[in-house]
């Protein structure tokens, strides 16, 4: 008898777990829609550049508001925007503007993306501390990245082959650099594609031939940031220069919401531009909008 009831139990268990699994999938969507009413929670996803900022803000915010939950996942600007288009998240983080095609997709899904600039990020061009080169113009940077210049001695350095590092194409920084510095031209075919900013820092710090770009928040002394001349003289990527707008490689960081934000999403966005929020922005290494 015992054995028989066991087999029924197992069958029952399998059936219920399947049913629960199915229900779980549906349940998630509900939470995103009605979460603000009941549990006071929002989901944020997207750019790895914005991630440390959003996380820092969320920590302070949740200490001040223990009954509210802000959950944040990285993955890249494209991933976050795709999640917003699919209605999976309340806020998408992005380090680039949404593309035309993405906005069209969103409208087709009944989503109306609204852009919020929450902070500014400086992009720093980095080389090994052993490299004597300390400044480059936009023209030189472009020539290096599209492949017209391939030796450091052409830009005043030693006779070494330049090893060009780039992020992968799902990075907002990849797109920003391509548009801003390279006039939309393609990266040279033999550029090394790194899956993360950490990998670029790691590689540049140990390779005197390498050049790469990273968010200034990631500068940690193991690499040397170059002064960049965007046409108005070479400027160092210092906080003064970025805030004053003289350092040319600075870009806004965005939140995207579906329609005007309300409830907890609005509260969180407003918190970021509050005094406490701005302090956190500086602490993380970015600059208030």
Partner 1 sequence: MLHRRKKEKAIESTLLIVSGVTVVALFLLCFFLFREGYLLFGDYSLFSFITGSSWYPSSSPAKFGLLPLLTGSLIVTAGAIILSVPLGIAAAVYISELADPRVAQIIKPFVEILAGIPSVVYGFFGLVIVVPLLQDMLDLPTGQTALAGSIMLGMMALPTIISVSEDAINSVPTALKEGSLALGSTKWQTIYRVVLPAALSGISAAVMLGIGRAIGETMTVMMVTGNTAIIPGVPEGLFDPVRTMTATIALEMGEVPQGSDHFHALFAVGSVLFIITFIINLIADSVKKKYRLKEAA
Q: Does 49 bind partner 1 (CB under 8 A)?
A: no
* Separation CA 126–CA 38 (nearest Å): 47
Contacts of 285 (CB under 8 A, 6+ apart): 52, 215, 216, 217, 218, 219
What single DSSP character describes residue 97? P
CB of 59 to partner 1, least distance (A): 25
Phi first, then psi: give them for residue 117, nearest 5 degrees.
-85, 115
Q: Which of 37, 67, 159, 161 binds partner 1 (CB under 8 A)?
A: 161
Touching partner 1, residues 69-88 (CB under 8 A): 75-79, 82
The residue among 200, 223, 235, 238 whose CA lies nearest residue 130 is: 223
* Separation CA 115–CA 117 (nearest Å): 7
Q: Does 232 bind partner 1 (CB under 8 A)?
A: no
Q: Is 229 exposed, middle or buried (0-12, 13-18, 19+ CB in 10 A)?
A: middle
Closest CB to partner 1 among residues 82, 253: 82
Q: 191, 231 in Cβ contact below 8 A?
A: no
From the list 54-62, 202-210, 240-248, 263-271, the region that binds partner 1 by CB under 8 A is 202-210
Closest CB to partner 1 among residues 2, 38: 2
Q: Does 168 bind partner 1 (CB under 8 A)?
A: yes
From the list 21-29, 120-128, 166-174, 277-285, the region that binds partner 1 by CB under 8 A is 166-174
Q: Which of 7, 25, 66, 159 binds partner 1 (CB under 8 A)?
A: 7
* Separation CA 14–CA 49 (nearest Å): 42
Closest CB to partner 1 among residues 211, 272: 211
CB of 205 to partner 1, least distance (A): 10
Q: 37, 132 in Cβ contact below 8 A?
A: no
What single DSSP character describes residue 209? T
Q: Does 118 bind partner 1 (CB under 8 A)?
A: no
The residues binding partner 1 (CB under 8 A) are 3-4, 7-8, 10-11, 14, 75-79, 82, 101-102, 105, 160-161, 163, 168-171, 186, 189-195, 199, 202-203, 206-207, 209-210
């Amino acid at each position: 008898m015992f054995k028989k009831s066991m087999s029924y139990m197992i069958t029952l268990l399998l059936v219920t777990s399947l049913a629960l699994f199915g229900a779980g999938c549906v349940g998630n969507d509900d939470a995103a829609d009605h979460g603000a009413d009941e549990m006071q929670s929002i989901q944020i996803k997207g750019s790895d550049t914005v991630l440390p900022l959003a996380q820092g803000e969320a920590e302070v915010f949740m200490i001040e508001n223990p009954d509210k939950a802000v959950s944040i996942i990285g993955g890249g600007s494209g991933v976050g925007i795709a999640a917003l288009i699919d209605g999976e998240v309340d806020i998408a983080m992005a380090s680039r503007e949404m593309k035309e095609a993405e906005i069209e997709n969103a409208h087709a899904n009944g989503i109306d993306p609204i852009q919020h600039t929450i902070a500014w990020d400086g992009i720093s061009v980095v080389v090994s501390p052993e490299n004597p080169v300390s400044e480059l113009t936009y023209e030189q940077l472009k020539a290096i990245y599209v492949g017209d210049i391939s030796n450091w001695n052409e830009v005043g350095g030693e006779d070494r082959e330049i090893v060009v590092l780039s992020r992968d194409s799902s990075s907002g920084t990849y797109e920003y650099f391509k548009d801003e510095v390279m006039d939309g031209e393609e990266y040279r075919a033999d550029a090394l594609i790194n899956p993360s900013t950490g990998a670029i820092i790691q590689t540049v710090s140990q390779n005197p031939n390498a050049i790469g770009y990273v968010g200034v928040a990631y500068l940690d002394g193991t690499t040397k940031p170059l002064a960049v001349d965007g046409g108005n003289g070479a400027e160092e990527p210092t906080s003064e220069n970025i805030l004053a707008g003289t350092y040319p490689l600075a870009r806004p960081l965005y939140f995207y919401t579906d329609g005007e934000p309300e409830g907890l999403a609005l509260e969180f966005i407003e918190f970021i531009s509050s005094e406490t929020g701005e302090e956190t922005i500086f602490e993380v290494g970015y600059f208030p909008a």
